[in-house]
Amino acid sequence: MKKQQRLWRGFLYGAGLLVLTCGITLNTKTLLGVSPVISVPNCLSLLYGWKLGWLVTVLYLGCVLIQIPLKGRRFGTLDLMQFPVSVLCGWLVGLYDTWLNFPRLGLPLRLGLLAAAILLTGAGVCLTVDMELAPNPMDGLVSSLSQATGRSLGLCKNLLDVTCVGVTAALGLLLGGQVLGVGVGTLASMLLTGRVIAGINRAFRQPMRRLAGLEPAGTGEPSAL
């Protein structure tokens, strides 16, 4: 891999983290229900006024720790890199949470924000995963669960999403008397983010990976499959 390709790989990965955390944070601003991956931190932030970024860091670090017994000796250098990535993602979420403040919006604009949040989240996942560096800790946990159980990535992702939503609902009811942060936006994120990822990968995965030196340059058109 040439130096320029390594630089592109690092740049695209870093851009992916920026876009991903922006999408995750924007999801909390719609007031339509947040994505499952951030539902627990969002609920605790609403209940106690704790900083969302700090709570995301704690959640992500927990996801990395769970992966250690699941992967055992297969827990390698890229897995260890998830620890600083957790801190960085939490810091970015906190930064975006401060910056992205909107006046009271009508339903059409809130739906527009939700669509933008899902698009940004999907794009961020594509960029970070396709560069094959340290995964987002939630994605890393899904992969570890899949390897440990022999179940598909899709099934493990769905089970983790349902678990996050269930824990969020339970915390809200037990500690606040109501379900907080779960709504139509949560369902939309669960159903549509995967479709966005598939669409972006279909169009851009091969060109991005060739730019980063992860696939040999070809003269043909990228496959539509």
Provide the percentage of residues in the chain whose pLDDT is more than 90. Answer: 84
DSSP conformation letters of 174-211: IIISS--S-SHHHHHHHHHHHHHHHHHHHHHHHHHHHH
User: Would you give the end-to-end CA distance of the chain in angstroms?
Assistant: 26
Distances (CA, A) of 100 to 87, 96, 103: 20, 6, 10
Residue 43: predicted pLDDT: 96
Distance (Å, whole) CA 214 – CA 182 = 39
Residue 220: predicted pLDDT: 42
Q: What is the pLDDT of residues 99-136, one digit of tens each?
A: 998 888 899 999 999 999 999 999 999 999 999 999 89
pLDDT at 77 over 60: yes
Provide the percentage of residues in the chain whose pLDDT is more than 70. Answer: 96
The pLDDT confidence band at residue 222, using thresholds 50, 70 and 90, is very low
> Residues 210, 139: contact at Cβ < 8 Å?
no
Q: Using alpha carbons only, what angle is made at residue 166 by residues 53 and 201, rounded to the nearest 5 degrees?
A: 65
The whole-chain average pLDDT of the chain stands at 91
Which residue ranges make up each domain of the chain?
Answer: 3-211
The pLDDT confidence band at residue 46, using thresholds 50, 70 and 90, is very high
Residue 215: predicted pLDDT: 80
Work out the number of other CB atoms within 10 angstroms of the CB of residue 78.
13
The pLDDT confidence band at residue 217, using thresholds 50, 70 and 90, is low
pTM comes to 0.90
Residue 148: predicted pLDDT: 93
Mean pLDDT throughout 40-59? Answer: 96
The pLDDT confidence band at residue 154, using thresholds 50, 70 and 90, is confident
Mean pLDDT throughout 47-69? Answer: 96
Q: Which amino acid is at 171?
A: L
DSSP conformation letters of 92-136: HHHHHHHH-------HHHHHHHHHHHHHHHHHHHHHHHHTTSSPP
